Amino acid sequence: MCAVWYLDPSQAVAAYRALVALPAAPRPRYAVKANAHPALLAALAAAGAHFAVVGEAELAALRVLGVPGARIACVTPGPPATLLRACRAAGVGWYAVDSPWEVRKLGALVPGAAALVVLALPPAGRLRYPTVRIGAGLADLDALLAAARAAPVELIGVQLHVGSQCERLAAWRRGVVLAALAWQRLCTAGWRPRVLNLGGGLPVSYRRPVPTPAAIARAIERAVARVFPVPPAELWWEPGRYIAAGAGVLAATVTRCEEGPRVVVQLDVGRYRGLPEAARGIRYAYLADGTGTPRPTVVAGPLGPRYDLLARRAWLPRLRAGERVWLPLAGAYTIVQTAYPATADVPVVLGPLPPLPAAR
């Protein structure tokens, strides 16, 4: 029995619709990088969703579905020229810039582009990033604004990202304060900004409760009311994880069990096979049937606990090789994450998600 990934696109549509229905919340755009499976994109496209892309493959997947460019934003501040050309050909609505170089590049390749200024924020999410800074600091804005005056681009607002799986409301409040300062600088430089894009970061409850989108939207609304003399005409956010996670369940198979002072269970999925975020701070829940009393168990991928640790202490019953371990909320940044696709190894089953063992 091999690992299987269950994907139910209707769950992503339900999560998207729940965000759309939230009162006084930013409008959602789906961040395609979280899960670019064609069936999930098709379901969201049919529901009228807007999309945020960071790569050519993501853009192409949307174009095949006939999503109009006006419903697509290119949100990476350092896109390759090939992506910018493809976006221009597709009529993509918005772009992102964070330096004078990027402003000039955008102006040269997409003359007349509408762009958001990406602001740098210290990542406050659970996901650990490499230490490459993305975005402009307030001190960098003068040079960026000077470049924009001389380039055929229109600065229409600011964009930030608090960090993926952000479980702290304070991070969004801090982001809004920084955005207001940058907004003021755009106004002083003669621009008429109208869009505040708060990026992704909406968290899901892998093991512990996390703030709900409604609570985060309220925190944003209050912060905007406090620091923006006139609120932005358009507020957006770009959840990837929140929309896609609940649409997927990963059924892993136990390949080896080690009894002893510490119990180790090895699975046929791991950091390098379907679960890249396990190495970057995401702690999945591991659920299994079984009658034995749950006990603390080290869970590892195919390379073993030393190189492929998934959980130091999951509560699992006694398991045998060949039995199933289930990972809920596995629809985002797992099997089809654009950077680490594992679809050749793990079959995908589309349709309603299977029933899961209870959490212990």
Ligand X SMILES: Cc1ncc(COP(=O)(O)O)c(C=O)c1O
CB of 324 to ligand X, least distance (A): 27
Interface with ligand X, residue 185, by CB under 6 A: no
DSSP 8-state class, residue 91: T
Q: What is the largest CA-CA distance in the chain?
A: 70
- Residue from 75, 103, 224, 327 in contact with ligand X (CB under 6 A): 75
Tokens of 273: 């096979």
Interface with ligand X, residue 171, by CB under 6 A: no
**Per-residue contact string for residues 314-333; x = within reach of ligand X by CB under 6 A:** --------------------
Rounded CA-CA distance 80/35 in Å is 21
Cβ neighbourhood burial of 23 (10 Å; 0-12, 13-18, 19+): exposed
Q: How many residues bind ligand X (CB under 6 A)?
A: 15
Contact 115, 132 (CB under 8 A): no
CB of 97 to ligand X, least distance (A): 13
Q: How far is CA 5 from CA 8, 119, 347, in A?
A: 10, 36, 6
Which stretch in 56-64, 101-109, 184-192, 232-240 sits in contact with ligand X by CB under 6 A? 232-240
CB of 306 to ligand X, least distance (A): 29
- Residue from 201, 246, 248, 305 in contact with ligand X (CB under 6 A): 201
Interface with ligand X, residue 178, by CB under 6 A: no
**Per-residue contact string for residues 208-227; x = within reach of ligand X by CB under 6 A:** --------------------
Query: What is 323-347 written as a DSSP string?
Result: -EEEESS-SSSSTT-TTS--TTTS-
Interface with ligand X, residue 240, by CB under 6 A: yes
Which stretch in 145-153, 197-205, 215-223, 320-328 sits in contact with ligand X by CB under 6 A? 197-205
Strand stretches in the chain, DSSP E: 4-7, 27-31, 50-53, 72-74, 95-97, 113-118, 153-159, 195-197, 234-237, 248-258, 263-267, 295-300, 309-316, 324-327, 348-350
Interface with ligand X, residue 239, by CB under 6 A: yes
CB of 164 to ligand X, least distance (A): 3
For residue 3, which of 185, 276, 274, 238 has the smallest C-alpha distance? 274
Interface with ligand X, residue 123, by CB under 6 A: no
Interface with ligand X, residue 34, by CB under 6 A: yes
- In the region spanning residues 242 to 281, those forming contacts with ligand X, defined by CB under 6 A, are 242
Interface with ligand X, residue 52, by CB under 6 A: yes
- 73 versus 319: smaller Cβ distance to ligand X: 73
Interface with ligand X, residue 238, by CB under 6 A: yes
- 19 versus 346: smaller Cβ distance to ligand X: 19
Contact 16, 332 (CB under 8 A): no
Which stretch in 10-18, 87-95, 234-242, 303-311 sits in contact with ligand X by CB under 6 A? 234-242
CB of 161 to ligand X, least distance (A): 4
Residue 322 Rama label (left phi>0; alpha psi -120 to 50; beta): left
Contact 338, 33 (CB under 8 A): yes
CB of 225 to ligand X, least distance (A): 24
- 238 versus 308: smaller Cβ distance to ligand X: 238
Contact 40, 13 (CB under 8 A): no
Residue sitting closest to ligand X (CB): 200
For residue 71, which of 88, 92, 85 has the smallest C-alpha distance? 92
Q: How far is CA 149 from CA 65, 143, 184, 190, in A?
A: 36, 10, 16, 9
Residues that bind ligand X (CB under 6 A): 31, 34, 52, 75, 161, 164, 199-202, 238-242
